[in-house]
Amino acid sequence: MRFTSEQRLDDGVLEREFTLGEIPGILWTPGSASASAPAPLILLGHPGGLHKMYPRLVARARHSAAEGFAAATIELPGSGDRPRSAAADEARADLHRALEAGKPVDDEIAARLILPLVEKSVPEWRAALDAFLALPEIGGPVGYAGGVIGIGIRLAVVEPRISAALLFAGSYLPRSMVEEARQVTIPLHVLLQWDDEGNDRQLALDLFDAFGSEEKTLQANMGGHTGVPRFAGDNGNRFFARHLK
């Protein structure tokens, strides 16, 4: 991991951009991190495109830092400045055609869109986790928060260093990954925007039901796809405070 820039935000959070091989990413550590014990870490998932997502990511990172958590994210394959994938672009075009025609997004499109992304990005997140945990200012435990929900599910299944996950149910997901969710056993906090018309609500409810975790909470709110209320973020922070401290 090579740091390429560093700035101190006004609330004392240290923001560092880095590259890990070809993959760009951002690491945020609380102002108090170097002085005190190593901080627990929250991996911030997102739908791809670090520049576009930056305002929302930095807001979530600052919210987490206020509770003493470090936060980090990496670019997804095929997004932002990373090389595009012809197959992924084609799946995305088919998705948009279906949406414009007012058709439901069928399982075959969701599978072409999500499965290769999960296959490629999950090893990258795990390699990034190796690098984050090698830093003296980062300790464990580790949580995963955000989309792409398929990435969160796969990470929760294969990565034993992830202790808890906050997932957004509402992005596209092939049915095969609902089955995979039965293998998840870590504590989960699942957010669902109830009135998001682009979202398959029944799939989200089936997914929540499938998770094998003994502690799982589904919190459904109003406000559309990007209108997750502030108090839902606060509840998410408290979820991590219970499980990562």
**Minimum CB–partner distance for residue 143 and a copy of itself (Å):** 16
**Minimum CB–partner distance for residue 153 and a copy of itself (Å):** 18
Rounded Cα–Cα distance for residues 93 and 82 (Å): 18
**Minimum CB–partner distance for residue 137 and a copy of itself (Å):** 29
The DSSP symbol for 181 reads G
**Minimum CB–partner distance for residue 24 and a copy of itself (Å):** 36
Cis peptide upstream of residue 122 (ω within 30 degrees of 0): no
Minimal CA–CA distance to 74: which of 58, 50, 57? 50
Q: Which is nearer to a copy of itself, 87 or 241 (CB)?
A: 241
**Minimum CB–partner distance for residue 211 and a copy of itself (Å):** 10
Rounded Cα–Cα distance for residues 24 and 6 (Å): 14
Q: Which is nearer to a copy of itself, 46 or 216 (CB)?
A: 216
Interface residues with a copy of itself (CB under 8 A)? 194, 205, 208-209, 213-222, 229, 231-232, 234-235, 238-239, 242
Cα–Cα distances in angstroms (integers) from residue 145 to residues 99, 117, 203, 206, in the given order: 27, 17, 20, 20
Q: Is 210 helix (H, G, I), strand (E, B) or coil?
A: helix
Q: Which is nearer to a copy of itself, 121 or 237 (CB)?
A: 237
Q: Which is nearer to a copy of itself, 149 or 151 (CB)?
A: 149
Q: Which is nearer to a copy of itself, 69 or 240 (CB)?
A: 240
**Rounded to 5 degrees, what are φ and ψ at 45?**
-80, 160
